[in-house]
A and B are shown apart, each in its own frame.
Chain A
Amino acid sequence: MELLAQQLITGIATGGIYACMALAVVMIYQAIHHLNFAQGEMAMFSTFIAWQMLAWGVPYWLVIPLTVALSFVGGVAIERLIIRPLGDAPVLSHIVVFIGLFAVINSLAGFIWDFTIKPFPSAFGEGSQFGGLISNHQIGMIAVTMAVLLMLFLFFQYTRVGLAMRAAAENPASARLVGIRVGWMIALGWGMASAIGAIAGILIAPIVFLEPNMMLSILLYGFAGAVLGGLTSPTGAVFGGFMVGIIENLAGTYIPEIGGELKLPIALFLIVTVLVFKPTGLFGRTVVQRV
Chain B
Amino acid sequence: MSMLLEVTGLHASYGDFRVLHGLDFSVEKGGISTLLGANGAGKTTTLRALCGMIKRTGTIRFEGNDISGKATEDIVRMGVAHVPEGRGTFTGLTTEENLQCGAMTRRSRADIARDLEQAYHWFPRLRERRNQQAGTLSGGEQQMLAIARALMLRPRLMLLDEPSFGLAPLIVQEMFSILRKVNQEEQVSMLIVEQNAGVVLELADNAFVLETGDIVMSGTAAEVRDNETIRAAYLGY
- Bound together: yes
Chain A residues packing against B (C-beta within 8 Å): 160, 163-164, 166-167, 170-171, 173-182, 285, 287-291
Which A residues touch B219, using CB under 8 A?
Answer: none
Q: A163-B97, A170-B92 are in contact. Are A179 and B135 (CB under 8 A)?
A: no
Given contacts A163-B101, A177-B84, whether A289 and B76 have CB atoms under 8 Å apart is: no
Given contacts A175-B101, A178-B149, A179-B153, contact A167 B53 (CB under 8 A): no
CB proximity of B73 to chain A, nearest CB, Å: 5
> Complex formed: what's the CA distance from A65 to B139 in Å?
48
Chain A nearest Cβ from B84, distance in angstroms: 6
Q: What distance in Å separates the Cβ of A137 from its nearest Cβ neighbour in chain B?
A: 38
- Beyond A166-B93, A181-B73, A288-B136: 13 further Cβ-contacts under 8 Å? A163-B101, A164-B104, A166-B97, A171-B91, A173-B53, A176-B73, A178-B76, A178-B102, A179-B77, A285-B92, A288-B133, A290-B135, A291-B139
**A163 to B82 alpha-carbon distance, docked (Å):** 20
Top 9 A-B residue pairs of the complex, sorted by shortest distance between their CB atoms: A174-B88, A179-B105, A179-B76, A289-B135, A176-B72, A167-B101, A177-B82, A179-B77, A178-B101
Name the residue of chain A whose CB is nearest to the CB of B105.
Answer: A179
Size of interface on B: residues with Cβ below 8 Å to A: 30
B66-87 toward A: CB 8 Å interface, digit per residue (1/0)? 0000001100110001101000
Q: Which residues of A sit under 8 angstroms from B84, Cβ to Cβ? A: 173-174, 177
Using a CB–CB cutoff of 8 Å, the interface residues on chain B facing chain A are: 51, 53, 72-73, 76-77, 81-82, 84, 88-93, 97, 100-102, 104-105, 133, 135-139, 149, 152-153
Closest approach, in angstroms, between the C-beta of B127 and any C-beta of chain A? Answer: 19
Please, how many angstroms separate the alpha-carbon atoms of A166 and B133 in the complex?
14
| Bound Cα distance A181, B75 (Å) | 12
Bound-complex Cα distance A240 to B37 (A): 52
A144 to B160, CA, bound (A): 48
How far does the alpha carbon of A177 sit from the alpha carbon of B48 in the complex, in Å?
10
The interface residues of chain B lying within 8 Å CB-to-CB of A167 are 90, 93, 97, 101, 104
Interface centre among B90, B91, B97, B101 (most CB of A within 10 A): B101
A182: which B residues are within 8 A, CB to CB? 73
Bound form: Cα–Cα A150–B53 in Å:
37
Cβ contacts under 8 Å, B82 to chain A:
177
